[in-house]
Amino acid sequence: MLRHFVVFLFVAACGGKTLEPLDDGGSDDSGVKKDGIAFDVGPPTDALPPPPGDGAPPPMCNNVDPGTKTVPEMQVAQDPPPFSGTSASIQPGLYELSSITIYTGPNGASGSTGTIAGEIRVNVANSADYKFQIGTVQDNQAPTRSNSDGNVVGPGTMTIAQTCPQAQPPVKVVYSATSSSFVIRVDAGSETADEAFEYFSP
């Protein structure tokens, strides 16, 4: 199952396992949880490293507020529709998650798996490099925050690697962007997630 997409992209964990570098997936688990352009809510507890020897708390990645706009995380029992990437750049600013759809294949699960709220701050380092700061909250759980680096590797294609709270290997995604929105598509085995974001603040 795809768990914690978003930011995003950020893509840190997939159903109790870490995604392989540039592999984007693995076996199908059961239900889908959030994370999207996935947000990333961090790896499952069975993937956490041992705590630091000094007992220090995990780092505070950012102060992005997940916001209050919740959207359903929807599973659709079909193959994903064609995706048109773009060479347009994602504009800097603060975005909120506007939808997340997980395509589970013709024989897959369907329906809502809960709700998620998320915001992502996009910082542009240069024409090919992005810094993403993500804040998300799913259902009634505590908010989570993560940071990721994005690097454009071709038209409508980038790699995204979480840098906080734990460094993760890069995952290859496709994206499309306009001056006020962007969509990231993440493939993970038999499932594909589209995470859409709408600009709302500089």
Answer for the pair 73, 102: CB distance below 8 angstroms, yes or no.
yes
Tokens of 180: 């006020």
Residue 46 has pLDDT above 90, yes or no: no
The predicted model gives 27-52 an average pLDDT of 41
Query: Which secondary-structure segment (H or E) carries 162?
Result: strand 157-164
User: What pLDDT does residue 188 have?
Assistant: 83
* pLDDT tens digit sequence for 64-94: 999 889 999 999 999 999 998 888 899 999 9
Query: In which band, very low, low, confident or very high, does the pLDDT at 164 lie, cut at 50, 70 and 90?
Result: very high
Q: Which residues of 75-92 are buried (b: 16+ CB within 10 A; e: fewer)?
A: bbeeebeeeebeeeebbe
- Pick the residue with more confidence: 93 or 53? 93
**Residues 112-145 pLDDT 10s:** 989 999 999 999 988 789 999 999 998 888 999 9
pLDDT score, position 56:
58
Which of the 8 DSSP states describes residue 134? E
Q: What is the dihedral of CA 101, 185, 187, 104, to 10 degrees?
A: 20
Asked whether 150 and 2 are in contact (CB, 8 A), the reply is no
Q: 5-44+60-201, what's its fold?
A: Lipocalin (2.40.128)
On the question of pLDDT at 16 being above 80, the answer is no
Q: What average pLDDT is seen over the chain?
A: 77
Looking at residue 45, its pLDDT comes to 39
What is the pLDDT, as a whole number, of residue 25? Answer: 42
Radius of gyration of the chain (CA): 15
* Range name among 1-15, 124-138, 167-181 with the lowest pLDDT average: 1-15
